[in-house]
Amino acid sequence: MDFTKNYSDKGMKKEKKSPGKRRCALMTQAGFKKITRRDVAREAGVTETIVSYVLNNNRYVNADKRKRVLAAVEKLGYKPNTAARALKGKSLNHIVFIADQIVTEHFSLLLSEMDKRAYDLGYMISLCQNRNTEDFVNSIISRQFDGVIISSISFSKGYIRQLIKAGIPVVLIENRDYSDVENAGKINNGLYEGAREVVKYLASIGRKEIVYIDRFSQNGHFSDMSDMRYRGYVHEMTAEGLAEVPEKRVISGCGSPEDIAEKVRAYLMEHPKTDAIFGRNDRVACVAMQAAQKMGRCVPEDLAVVGFDNSLLGQYSTPSISSVEIRRDLIAADAIDMLQSMIESKIIPEKSAYPTRLIRRESTNVHR
C-alpha cells in the first residue's frame, strides 16, 4: 500500500504535500501504526487464518506459505498480543518449570533437555525458582501459562492443588511423595530406588557405618521421609540391618557448604568407625569428602564416598566420586510430552518411571 497518496472525500480540497511532509507521513504510518495480523496476511499474500496457524503452530501449513508468513512477521516487526490471547482463553504455547535450585548443574541440564523438546513441539519454556508464596502462585495463574512442570521438595502441595484447581495442567517430577496429590501427571525419576541401590552396594563391599549428608539450604528446606532419596536411604539401611534408627546417621540442617564441612568433622570425631559417606548430591559428597580428607581420612581406604546426579564436579574430583546417574534426557522429554497430552486431551496420563544407574569410580573401588 502506498501510504504517501492523498485521498479526499467528495468536496474536500486536496493538499499538496512537500517532500518533507511526505517523509513525515511515511514515518508516522510505518513507525507508529500498530501492525496487525491482517497486515501480516496482506504482506504474505495469505489469509489471516493461515497466519494464525503459523503463529500458533497448531495446524499444518505448507512450507512456502509458512516461509512467507514468517518473513512478513520479521519484515513488519509484528508482535502477537499474548495478553489479549490469554483473555480470550487461547493457548500461549508457554509453559513454566518450577525448581528449587535453578543454578545447579542438574537443573540446568534438565531444563536444557526440556527446552529442546518443548521447542520441537512449538512451546516456549520459562524457568522459575520456587518462591513458595501465595503471590507467586497467583502470578502463575494470572499469566495463563498452558502448563506447569514441578521438580521440588519444598513447593507446597496446597499450592500445587491451587494450580490444578485453576485448570492448569501440572506434571510432577517425583523428588518427593506425591501419592496424595490427584489430577496431576507424575514421573518417577528413580530417586528412591537409586538411594536404596547405593546403600545396598556399600553394604556389599563391607561398609556398615554409613552416614547420609543432606542438602544445604538457606531457606530451611531440608529432607524428611517424604523426600525420595532420604526415604530410600532410611528404608535400605533398615532392610540391611545396618541401623535401628537410620535417621540418627544423617547430617542435615546446614545452611552452607562450610556448615556441612564443620558438621562432618564433628560427626567423624564422635563416630570414628564411620566407613562410608552417602551424599544427597555430588556437591555435598565432595564437600564431605574434602572435610574427611583434611582430617587424615583416606578415600576410599578409610571412607567410601557416593554422590547423586553424576555431575562433572564428581567426575573430576580427586578421587573421582561414584554417583547415581539420573536419566535427565528421557525424564525431560517425557515431562514435555505428558504436559502436551494433558493440554490437548485434558486426560491425566499414567505415571511413567525411569531407572537410575550407579556409576562406580575411584571413591569406592577398594574392597575389604
Which pLDDT score, from 0 to 100, does residue 66 have?
A: 86
Number of domains, the chain: 3
Report the pLDDT value the prediction gives residue 82, as an integer from 0 to 100: 53
pTM: 0.75
The answer to whether 291 touches 269, Cβ cutoff 8 Å, is no
pLDDT in tens, 236-259: 999 999 998 999 999 999 999 999
Q: Cβ neighbours of residue 264 under 8 Å, at least 6 residues apart?
A: 213, 251, 277, 287, 288, 291, 292
CA distance 266 to 272: 10
- Do the domain assignments include residue 6? no
Cell of residue 21, nine digits: 511532509
> How confident is residue 1, by pLDDT bands cut at 50, 70 and 90?
very low
pLDDT digits (tens, 9 = 90+) for 182-213: 999 999 999 999 999 999 999 999 999 999 99
11 located within any domain: no
300 prior amide bond cis, ω within 30: yes
In the prediction, which pLDDT does 130 show?
84
Report the CATH number that the domain containing residue 24 is assigned in CATH: 1.10.260.40
- pLDDT confidence band for 356 (50 / 70 / 90): very high
- Per-residue pLDDT, averaged over 159-187, amounts to 96
Q: Given a cut of 90, is residue 14 above it in pLDDT?
A: no
Residue 14 lies in a domain: no
pLDDT for res 18: 39
pLDDT at 37: 83
Whether residue 51 is found in the same domain as residue 72: yes
**Whether residue 314 sits in one domain with residue 197:** yes
Identify the residue with better confidence: 34 or 111. Answer: 111
The kind and range of the H/E element at 34 are none
Share of the chain above pLDDT 70, in %: 86
Q: Which three cell numbers stand for residue 247?
A: 535417621
Task: Give the model confidence (pLDDT) of 129-140 as tens digits.
Answer: 888 899 899 888
Same-domain check for residues 334 and 185: yes
Assigned domain for 290 exists = yes
Please say if the pLDDT value at position 3 is more than 60.
Answer: no
The larger pLDDT score, comparing residue 55 to residue 265, is at: 265
Answer yes or no: do 269 and 225 share one domain: yes
Q: What is the pLDDT of residues 290-334, one digit of tens each?
A: 999 999 999 999 999 999 999 999 999 999 999 999 999 999 999
Domain that holds residue 173: 94-190+328-356
Nearest-Å Rg of the Cα atoms of the chain is 28
Confidence class for position 172, pLDDT limits 50, 70, 90: very high
Does residue 322 sit in helix, strand or coil? strand
Mean pLDDT of 284-295: 98
Q: Which of 80, 114, 149 is the last residue of a domain?
A: 80
Residue 294 CB partners (closer than 8 Å, separation 6+): 265
* pLDDT of 13 higher than 70: no
Residues 120 and 105 in one domain: yes
Cell of 317: 574430583
Question: Would you state the pLDDT for residue 272?
Answer: 96
Q: Do 215 and 178 share a structural domain?
A: no
196 and 321 fall within a common domain:
yes
User: Residue 10: which pLDDT band, with cuts at 50, 70 and 90?
Assistant: very low
Asked if pLDDT for residue 22 goes beyond 80, the answer is no
Residue 1 lies in a domain: no
Residue 106 and residue 220 in one domain:
no
pLDDT at 132: 87
Query: Sheet of 94-99: strands edge to edge?
Result: 124-129, 94-99, 147-151, 170-173, 185-188, 352-353
Position 26 scores a pLDDT of 30
Buried b (16+ CB within 10 A) or exposed e, 151-180: bbbebeeebbbbbbeeebbbbbbbbbebee
**Boundary residue ending a domain (42, 57, 80):** 80
Q: Has residue 232 been placed in a domain?
A: yes
42 lies in the same domain as 104:
no
Specify the DSSP class assigned to residue 28: I
Please tell me whether residues 264 and 314 are part of one structural domain: yes
The CATH number for 105's domain is 3.40.50.2300
CB contact at 8 A, 80 and 51: no
- Section 25-38 average pLDDT: 56
> Residue 358 corresponds to which cell in the numbers above?
550407579
Instruction: Look at residues 80, 108, 130 and tell me which one is the last residue of a structural domain.
Output: 80
With 70 as the cut, is the pLDDT of residue 56 above it? no
206 and 264 inside one domain: yes
In a domain, 134, yes or no: yes
- Across the chain, what does the average pLDDT equal? 86
Q: Examine residue 274 and state whether it is found in any structural domain, yes or no.
A: yes
Average pLDDT of the residues in 33-59: 80
- In this structure, the answer to whether residues 220 and 315 fall within a common structural domain is yes
